[in-house]
Amino acid sequence: MTIAITGATGQLGRFVIDRLKARTDISNLLALVRNPGNATGLGIAVREADYSKPDTLASALKEVDTLMLISSSEIGQRLQQHRHVIDAARQAGVKRIVYTSLLHADTSSLSLAGEHIDTEQIIKASGIPYTVLRNGWYTENYTGSVKAAVAAGAFVGSASEGKISSAARADYAEAAAVVLTSSGHEGKTYELAGDASYTLADLAAEISRQIGAPLPYKNLPETEYATLLARFGLPEGFAAAVAGWDVAASGGALFDDGKQLSRLIGRPTTPLSVVVANAL
């Protein structure tokens, strides 16, 4: 039984491999990576697999039973890239695909949703048995800004009073490992999110509590926030996208209270306070 994991050098991929090692022998695991030079320390077999280079995919997927397709990070190119992987998987006789999609991809107002829902449809049309993991926001997306916020004296965003049900990358990785190593998940689509939800004002309050000093949340209009992010060095288009995702969050795009993630992993999702403490 070979389980191959794409995006294995990424932050989620590394957690997935770590969690899989606890559930199966490492001889069953195969890391698929764009650049084998970056794959140091994974502790499992490695093959080159670039989503944009179909010839690498054909050989990478030989004798793979189960494929964990971690969505590409190259927004805008992902649909074609994912199509290459799914086509190669079909030709190689892969028996199951597990794909990391987006929370409520079919109804989400996030600009990211289109590529994910289209990928889900390609997977379904391929005839390969599948499981879709519709992952919510990583808590780390926000806590990555904790130090900068403390330095600036405010946590800034455009999510207003929107409730965010994020979870740690490690939680989503654990869910992937469960699905990859147990039965009964075929044809299922899981909406995965954290057990608890918070607003960015709640997040600022948690940071305040941990640093022992006041840290207000400052809500900015979308364009002002995008301009600020670009001033901090984000490419303009990406800054605008990030601000847009926050605005979508203000309308509930990152909220979910179904608790499917904690049910899958058999434990509560990592509390916000823990991820904040790690970031600090």
Ligand X SMILES: NC(=O)c1ccc[n+]([C@@H]2O[C@H](COP(=O)([O-])OP(=O)(O)OC[C@H]3O[C@@H](n4cnc5c(N)ncnc54)[C@H](OP(=O)(O)O)[C@@H]3O)[C@@H](O)[C@H]2O)c1
Applying CB under 6 A, which residues contact ligand X?
7, 9-13, 34-35, 38, 50-52, 70-74, 81, 100, 135, 137-138, 141
Q: Which is nearer to ligand X, 48 or 211 (CB)?
A: 48
- Smallest distance from the beta carbon of 137 to ligand X, in angstroms? 4
Which amino acid type is present at position 157?
G
Answer whether 169's CB lies under 8 Å from 274's CB. no
- Smallest distance from the beta carbon of 105 to ligand X, in angstroms? 11
Q: Which is nearer to ligand X, 138 or 190 (CB)?
A: 138
**How far is the C-alpha of 277 from the C-alpha of 2, rounded, in Å?**
37
Q: Which is nearer to ligand X, 12 or 150 (CB)?
A: 12
Answer whether 28's CB lies under 8 Å from 45's CB. no
**How far is the C-alpha of 244 from the C-alpha of 249, rounded, in Å?**
9
Of the candidates 84, 16, 19, the one whose C-alpha atom is nearest the C-alpha of residue 49 is: 84
- Smallest distance from the beta carbon of 61 to ligand X, in angstroms? 13
Q: Which is nearer to ligand X, 112 or 226 (CB)?
A: 112
**How far is the C-alpha of 175 from the C-alpha of 194, rounded, in Å?**
12
Answer whether 42's CB lies under 8 Å from 11's CB. no
Q: Which is nearer to ligand X, 10 or 194 (CB)?
A: 10
Q: 122, exposed or middle or buried, with CB in 10 Å at 0-12, 13-18, 19+?
A: middle
Q: Which is nearer to ligand X, 74 or 224 (CB)?
A: 74
Q: Cβ-closest residue to ligand X? A: 10
**How far is the C-alpha of 113 from the C-alpha of 280, rounded, in Å?**
31
- Smallest distance from the beta carbon of 183 to ligand X, in angstroms? 25
Tokens describing residue 195:
């057990």
- Smallest distance from the beta carbon of 148 to ligand X, in angstroms? 18
- Smallest distance from the beta carbon of 32 to ligand X, in angstroms? 7
